[in-house]
Structure formats: structure tokens, C-alpha cells
Structure 1
Amino acid sequence: MTPLPLPRRLLAEGLGTLLLVATVVGSGIAAASLSPGNVGLQLLENALATGAVLFVLIATLGPVSGAHFNPVVTGIDAWLGGLPKRDALPYVVVQVVGACLGAVLANLMFGLAAVSVSTHERTGSALWLSEVVATFGLLLVILGLVRAGRSSWIPAAVASYIVGAYWFTASTSFANPAVTIGRTLSDTFAGIAPASVPGFVVAQVLGAVLATVVVLVIWPRHSAAVAVAIDVQEETR
């Protein structure tokens, strides 16, 4: 099916990433305020809010742009031919801009400075390995469902995976370079120090590449054009 016009898709990608990061950061701020001193409960609140909103965003915006909201998803989609390669860079740009604006919005909604650069260092081999695993799992879920012809499961499956990955990875599963960059702009529960970003991004890219290799071994053929995220459900207007 012919993709929708690029400006419409870019608006969907930017808006979706903005709302995703606003949810991650905002729910982290709310959790720290509502459950002071209880980090486990704060993480649970943060994870559930993120999973719920992610489900809604993918289900709503997927028919427009594919609901990537993630540069590694976009990159792999373009690599496999599901997204025109010329569209990959614009997608990534609006995702990063949307992520940064989402963090700013969350800060403002809770009466904080629009930008407060995070001092929360997240570094070390355990966290980097966690990001490899988190991103590997995310791409395995998305690509596996697409290539198995079960794209309608993606909103629920991705949301469920992210909620679970918050808990089984030491890094709390960022699994997204744009979200990682956006979270540097909020010195709150969900923040990450700018110096920690390169290690996370490298790990995320590695996890995505490994997942793609494994998926191509498990599902070597696909009956339709590969599209990472969910198939376009509406006719082009």
C-alpha cells in the first residue's frame, strides 16, 4: 500500500515520541512525589503508565506512520525495505526533537524549569548489557510479529514487553536513542546524564542489529513487504 504523505507521517512520529517521553518523565516525577522513599513502587507506577500510553499511541498513530517513535526501529525498517530509505533521516530527526519537547513538557506540567539537565549517571557494563538485551527483545517482538503476519498484536505486545523490561533489566529498558536523548533534559526520576548517553545508544544499536539477524534466521521469508511497527490499516487519502 502506498505510504501516506511524508509530512503527515512525520507529524505522527514527532507527536507520538513527544507524548511517549512526556509520559515516561511525567509519570516518573509523579511517582517520586506520590511514593517518596519507595523506589520499587515508583518504578512500578512509571512502568505501568508508560506501557498503557505506549499501547494507545501505537494503536492510534500506527496506521499513519508505523508508530516507530524510535530511531533504531526506523533504521531497521529502512534497512529491511519497509520504509523508504530517504524517509529514515527525517523520521529520526522528528523523533529526537519530539523526545526533547516531551521532556520539556513534562517538566513544565509539574512546575519545574523547562530544561534541567540530568545528573543521573547510568553507566557500566551491566547497564550497557541491559540495553543490548532490552533493545534486542523489543526488535524481536516487533519484527517477529510483522514477519509472522501478526501485526495486529504489536500495540499490546510492545507495551507488555516494555512494562516487563522495566523490571528484568538493570537499566529499566530505555531501548530507544531518541528517548534516551530526551531524558537528559529532566533532572528527575527518569533522567539520564548526557555523558551516559553514548554508551546507551551504542548498546541499543547493537541490540537492534543482533535482533534483526536472529529474526531473519527464524523468519527467513515474509509474504508481504516488511514493515516495522504495524501495517497501514487505512486507505491512502
Structure 2
Amino acid sequence: MNTSLLRRLAAEFLGSALLAALVIGSGIAAQRLSPGDVGLQLLENAFATALGLPVLILVFATISGAHFNPAVSLVDSAMGLRAWRDTAFYIPAQVVGCIAGAVLANLMFGGSAISLSTTDRMSPPTFLAEVVATAGLILVIFALARTGRAHVTPWAVGAYIGAAYFFTSSSSFANPAITIGRMFSDTFAGIAPSSAPGYIAAQLLGAALAWGLVRWMFAAERERLA
């Protein structure tokens, strides 16, 4: 493993850890600041995520591409933009990073380092919502890349995820790694281990659908910019 790959894996680990800490930590803060008002809790959680996610992307984009998400890495390789070997290393770094971020968030707010979530989120509507949320995220990222507007991706991703907290019934996890990480925090942002496999399946399905859609809809733009 060369130094360049190690730097990229470190970036994916740190970025994923900070993303999980951001999502879970802001969820815990919202739960404590606005007890009894779930709508306000969700707004505070979404607002913090929409602000923080673009910053993390900007910090790590020049090192690893700032994926922090196995669905993004898989589509990146399926598009021929990144070696499959890199993705095989990226995904464990992302998953372990998100678990570490969950532990960090728990500790920062005085909780147990690990507390398995008891929040059951899986249902047919939330399965559909995760397909939509993930497909939309992948579409935003790779449509902008194919049309020469990758420089606005951090802001577009932050805005999309912030909005998707509200327009999807699943609160838009849209990321298998953070779904796993959120299992380890029995707080506002958590997800029960029994619900996680369904969410991850929906996310992978959404990513596959978006991959096909991007290749079909934006083929002419890629050829024009080549």
C-alpha cells in the first residue's frame, strides 16, 4: 500500500468520522435543546448537516474525493473514474470512520461510548424513501461532474441532504456507512440494527438506478466536454 493510498484512506476515515459525529452530535444536541418538539429537532439536525457537510467535502476533496459513502465510491468505480481496488479499501475506512464518529458523538455528550439504537425505522415507505434519497444524491454528484460543474458539488450536496431530511420519510440517510455508524448511538439520529439491512439494500438499489440514469441522460454532455 503506497503513501498516496494511505493518505486517501486517512482522509476517508477522518471525513466519515467527522460526518457521523456531525449528524449524530447535532441530533443529540437537538434532542436536548428542543425536548418534545420532534419537528424542531429534525430542523436543527438537518440545518447542522447542511452546513457542515459541504465543509467536510471541501477539506478532503483534493485528497480522496471526499466520498465518505460506499454508494458514491461504488458508482465512482462503475463510472470508470476510480480503480476498483481503491473502492475496496475506501469502503472499510468509511464504515470504521462512521462507527468511530458515532462513539465520539456519544462521548462528547456524556453518553456511553456505544449504545445500540432501539429506533425501528424500517417500513415499505422508508425503503422507498431511501431509494429516492440515495438516487437523488448520486444524481446530484455525478450529473454535476459530467457537466463540468463539480466545483459546486459541496454546496449542492449539502443543500440536497438538508432538504431530503424533510421530503423523505426516512430522513435521508443515503449512505450505507453512516447507516452502520448510526446503529451505535441510541439517540435521535440512531437506527436499530434490525432496520439497517433494509436501509442499506435500498441505498444500493438507489445508487444503481442513479448510475444508469446518469449514464443515459448525461452521455452527450460527457462527450461534449471530453
Task: Please report the TM-score for the alignment, with normalisation by the length of structure 1.
Answer: 0.92
Which residue identity is paired with 1:15? L
Task: Report SS of the residue matched to 1:61.
Answer: helix
Residue in 1 aligned with 2:75?
76
Residue in 1 aligned with 2:54?
55
Task: Report SS of the residue matched to 2:49.
Answer: helix
Q: State whether residues 131 and 175 of structure 1, in contact with CA within 8 Å, keep that contact through their aligned partners in structure 2.
A: yes
Residue in 1 aligned with 2:131?
132
Residues 157-210 of structure 1: CA deviation (Å, up to 9, x unaligned): 000000000000000000000000000000000000001011000100010111
Q: State whether residues 82 and 225 of structure 1, in contact with CA within 8 Å, keep that contact through their aligned partners in structure 2.
A: no
Residue in 2 aligned with 1:234?
none
C-alpha RMSD of the superposition: 1.6
Matches within 5 A, 1:98-113: 98-113=97-112
Distance 1:224 1:57 in 2: 31
Which residue identity is paired with 2:71? V
Q: Give the drift of 1:224.
A: 9.6
Residue in 2 aligned with 1:37?
36
Residue in 2 aligned with 1:90?
89
| Alignment CA distance shift 1:174-1:225 (3 Å) | farther
Structure 1's consecutive aligned runs of 4 or more residues displaced over 4 angstroms after TM superposition are: 223-226
Q: State whether residues 81 and 225 of structure 1, in contact with CA within 8 Å, keep that contact through their aligned partners in structure 2.
A: no
Distance 1:205 1:141 in 2: 16
Task: Report SS of the residue matched to 1:194.
Answer: coil
Q: State whether residues 148 and 225 of structure 2, in contact with CA within 8 Å, keep that contact through their aligned partners in structure 1.
A: no
Q: Does 1:46 align with 2:45?
A: yes
Task: Please report the TM-score for the alignment, with normalisation by the length of structure 2.
Answer: 0.96
Count of residues paired in the alignment: 224
Matches within 5 A, 1:114-129: 114-129=113-128
Q: Give the drift of 1:212.
A: 1.0
Identity of aligned residues (%): 56
Residue in 1 aligned with 2:177?
178
Residue in 1 aligned with 2:145?
146
| Alignment CA distance shift 1:26-1:205 (3 Å) | same
Which residue identity is paired with 2:133? A
Q: Give the drift of 1:51.
A: 1.2
Larger % of helix: which?
A: 2
Q: State whether residues 76 and 208 of structure 1, in contact with CA within 8 Å, keep that contact through their aligned partners in structure 2.
A: yes
Q: Give the drift of 1:138.
A: 0.1
Higher relative contact order (CA 8 A, sep 6+): 1
Q: Does 1:11 align with 2:35?
A: no
Residue in 2 aligned with 1:232?
none
Q: Could you list the runs of 5+ residues in structure 2 that have no partner in the other structure?
A: none
Distance 2:76 2:216 in 1: 17
Which residue identity is paired with 2:174? A
| More displaced stretch, 103-112 vs 214-223 | 214-223
Q: Give the drift of 1:225.
A: 10
Residues 116-149 of structure 1: CA deviation (Å, up to 9, x unaligned): 0000011110000000000010000001000001
Q: Give the drift of 1:28.
A: 0.4
Distance 1:17 1:198 in 2: 19
Q: Give the drift of 1:223.
A: 5.2
Q: Give the drift of 1:217.
A: 1.1
Q: Does 1:26 align with 2:53?
A: no
Distance 1:225 1:100 in 2: 39
